Amino acid sequence: AKYMIIDGNRVEFNDEPNILALVRKAGIDLPTFCYYSDLSIYGACRMCVVEDQWGGIIASCSTPPKDKMEVKTNTPKLHQHRKMILELLLAAHCRDCTVCDKNGKCRLQELAHRFGIKSVRFENKTEEMELDTSSASIIRDPGKCILCGDCVRMCNEIQNVGAIDFAHRGAKMIVSPAFNKKIAETNCVNCGQCAAVCPTAAITVKSDLKDVWKAIYNPKKRVVVQVAPAVRVALGEEFHMKAGENVIGKIVAALRRLGFDAIFDTSVGADLTIMEESKELLKKLEAGENKYPLFTSCCPGWIRYAETKHKELLPYISTCKSPMEMFGAVIKEHFKGLDSTEGVETVSVAIMPCSAKKYEASREEFKRNDIPDVDYVITTIELVKMIKEIGIQFEEIEPEAPDMPFSLYSGAGVIFGVTGGVTEAAVRRVVADKSPKALKDIEFLGLRGMEGVKVCELQVEENSIVRIGVVSGLANAEALIEKIESGEEHFDFVEVMACPGGCIAGAGQPFSHKEEKNARALGMYKADKVSQIKRCEENPLMLSLYNGMLKHRTHELLHVSYRK
Ligand code: HC0
Ligand code: SF4
């Protein structure tokens, strides 16, 4: 086997892409800002340097391992070098840590602490830079940028959006939208993936906590909350629990203690979505060959991408509102009568793993009589902050169930939170065979797994094969769209989620690497496994909704048109 000598120890390698990966394999957590394993290597931060056997300093992230090469990670030269970089960064950085959104989570703060930096030898050159608060979902604070470029590469390479880039040269260099525009004036799709990889608070997800607290403390408001599928498998990570552990019962209990008046699960909305979307799919299959598939509509980042880059696809995107917005409309309708008799006003809050949901909730299409169906969206991380602020001992709290009358949901609704889940839920609905064996077969169709592109075929009736594409990450979506438009590939149904891996990897979730994301995905499927209801149509709540509130109002309450 090939090997390197790292700090005197032999470390074997085969397909590790760079020395940094090997160093980490050797159990050394080399400090870095800009190395994020899913992105291309940029080598900007120079923190991950190592010394070779001739005393040369090399960036370990951008150097491939070489057989029998010797490096050291801990020498006086390296120590000085890293301290110097940190001090230079700190000299150019805002140091209002105590009031920073990333306080306690900032990589610069963490490394300054790790290196015991007590003072900075250079003059503080921080300039007051204007915040960009134009977006409904993210805030840019260029004064806190350390130019690692992770956000730029995320937005370009993974999301194919290119809303932000480096501007100016030398000391004036910043990351910003082209022509100094505000982020809301660009093609930004609000996915927040830039914020998810930002090591500092240069890009953060906007917070709506103030408004939510205000509503909770107002006795004239009935504050109703829904919790998205993916939140349950990630929130525990912030309380020393394992990634993927399903903590929905604890979340419900915590929400009650926080003062929410009624607590529901967005998976109910997901069941509604499949009831509607499967109708569209069957209609489409009946109508026969079409160049374009039916695209899913539940991801607001994807909707925005289609609106800005692929208007021609809009007629082929499902008219279903997202589960959040369907359920939002149902919730507002449900409490309407009670509100007027009790003299209160229902405020609808959604807890989402996603930053784009904030933008979705603010869209005009989701207002009826000028009132949004979902008033506030807060992220998983914002909910963590609420729980910590009040001091609820999350690890100790006993699980509780959501409220009537919307307390039932299917496992199919829960798996919406992971890439391929929406499709699997739809497939369970449209196949005629409802046996346990058929359910198992669907599990192995190829819809599961964290790959960014999945293709599979499904036999619905004797001689009809349905071709399905599942993509996550918008660059993957773009590649698939190109194949569809050129006629190279044909699909009947395509699921698109903007975030790589689906909602479990949304920008509102705790910071994660591949391992956590994989564990969260497994957690979603485990939640389905233990649920007694496997298909949306088996959820008794659907029957009562369709015979009641939705009887003549599915179009009004559950569908939307983006074709402006
Ligand atoms: Fe998702 Fe959803 S699955 S988008 O990822 O469809 O955010 O979790 O809530 O709406 O259900 C996010 C997650 C949702 C919606 C659902 C869908
Ligand atoms: Fe790019 Fe998404 Fe960030 Fe917008 S939110 S700048 S689209 S990465």
Q: DSSP readout, 416-477? A: GGSTTHHHHHHHHHH-S--SHHHHHHHHTSS--SS-SEEEEEEEEETTEEEEEEEEESHHHH
**Integer Cα distance of 134 and 535 in angstroms:** 41
* Atom 12 of ligand 1, residue of closest alpha carbon: 503
Specify the ligand 1 atom closest to the Cα of 421: 3
Q: What share of the chain is helix, strand, coil (3-state, %, to 5)?
A: 45, 15, 40
Q: Does the global pTM surpass 0.80?
A: yes
- Contact yes or no for 300/560 (Cβ under 8 A): no
Q: What is the pLDDT of residue 121?
A: 85
Any atom of ligand 2 within 6 Å of the Cβ of 296: no
3-state secondary structure of 429: helix
**Catalytically annotated residue among 48, 188, 503, 536:** 503
Cβ neighbourhood burial of 185 (10 Å; 0-12, 13-18, 19+): middle
**Catalytically annotated residue among 298, 354, 499, 536:** 298
Closest to 517 in 3D by CA, of 153, 149, 270, 237: 237
3-state secondary structure of 469: strand
Residues 6+ apart with CB under 8 A from 374: 324, 325, 328, 348, 349, 350, 360, 361, 366
Specify the ligand 2 atom closest to the Cα of 187: 7
Tokens linked to 179: 């022509």
Closest to 112 in 3D by CA, of 199, 237, 36: 199
Query: At 35, is the pLDDT very low, low, confident or very high (cuts 50, 70, 90)?
Result: low
**Known catalytic membership, residue 365:** yes
Q: What is the pLDDT of residue 58?
A: 93
**Ligand 2 mutation target, pool 153, 154, 189, 497, most atoms within 8 A of CB:** 189
**Catalytically annotated residue among 102, 250, 357, 358:** 357
**Ligand 1 mutation target, pool 251, 352, 410, 520, most atoms within 8 A of CB:** 352
Summarize pLDDT for 257-300 with one digit per residue, the tens. 999 999 999 999 999 999 999 999 999 999 887 899 999 999 99
- Contact yes or no for 226/407 (Cβ under 8 A): no
* Atom 6 of ligand 1, residue of closest alpha carbon: 298
- Contact yes or no for 429/537 (Cβ under 8 A): yes
**Known catalytic membership, residue 298:** yes
Query: At 359, is the pLDDT very low, low, confident or very high (cuts 50, 70, 90)?
Result: very high
**Known catalytic membership, residue 534:** no
Summarize pLDDT for 411-463 with one digit per residue, the tens. 999 999 999 999 999 999 999 999 999 999 999 999 999 999 999 999 877 77
Q: What is the pLDDT of residue 563?
A: 58
**Integer Cα distance of 406 and 262 in angstroms:** 10
Mean pLDDT of 133-141: 97
**Integer Cα distance of 374 and 326 in angstroms:** 10
**Integer Cα distance of 60 and 172 in angstroms:** 27
Mean pLDDT of 98-116: 93
Q: What is the pLDDT of residue 38?
A: 64
**Catalytically annotated residue among 238, 360, 516, 537:** 360
> Does 106 score more than 80 pLDDT?
yes
Q: What is the pLDDT of residue 169?
A: 83
- Contact yes or no for 340/332 (Cβ under 8 A): no
**Known catalytic membership, residue 483:** no
Q: What is the pLDDT of residue 491?
A: 97
Q: What is the pLDDT of residue 564?
A: 54
Summarize pLDDT for 231-250 with one digit per residue, the tens. 999 999 999 999 999 999 99
Q: What is the pLDDT of residue 32?
A: 87
Q: What is the pLDDT of residue 119?
A: 87
Mean pLDDT of 216-239: 98
Any atom of ligand 2 within 6 Å of the Cβ of 163: yes
C-alpha distance across the termini of the chain, in Å: 61
- Contact yes or no for 151/164 (Cβ under 8 A): yes
**Integer Cα distance of 23 and 20 in angstroms:** 5
> Does 4 score more than 90 pLDDT?
yes
Q: Which residues line ligand 1 (CB under 6 A)?
A: 228-230, 266, 269-270, 298-299, 322-324, 352-354, 357, 416-417, 422, 502-503, 506
Any atom of ligand 2 within 6 Å of the Cβ of 50: no
Q: What is the pLDDT of residue 198?
A: 94
417 Cα–ligand 1 center, Å: 6
> Does 217 score more than 70 pLDDT?
yes
Closest to 554 in 3D by CA, of 542, 536, 537, 539: 542
Mean per-residue pLDDT of the chain: 94
Q: What is the DSSP letter of 317?
A: B
Tokens linked to 223: 């504050």
Q: What is the pLDDT of residue 120?
A: 87
**Known catalytic membership, residue 503:** yes
Mean pLDDT of 323-342: 97
Mean pLDDT of 481-491: 97
**Integer Cα distance of 369 and 88 in angstroms:** 54
**Catalytically annotated residue among 185, 280, 400, 478:** 280
Closest to 504 in 3D by CA, of 526, 522, 520: 520
Mean pLDDT of 210-228: 98
Supply the ipTM of this predicted assembly. Answer: 0.94
Any atom of ligand 2 within 6 Å of the Cβ of 194: yes
Q: What is the pLDDT of residue 171?
A: 79
Q: What is the pLDDT of residue 464?
A: 80
Q: Give CA 55 to chain center in angstroms.
A: 43
- Contact yes or no for 529/251 (Cβ under 8 A): no
> Does 561 score more than 80 pLDDT?
yes
Summarize pLDDT for 80-101 with one digit per residue, the tens. 999 999 999 998 888 889 999 9
> Does 37 score more than 70 pLDDT?
no
**Known catalytic membership, residue 333:** no
Summarize pLDDT for 155-214 with one digit per residue, the tens. 999 999 999 999 988 878 889 998 889 999 999 999 999 999 999 999 999 999 999 999
Mean pLDDT of 130-151: 94
Is-cis flag, bond preceding 76, omega within 30? no
- Contact yes or no for 195/211 (Cβ under 8 A): no
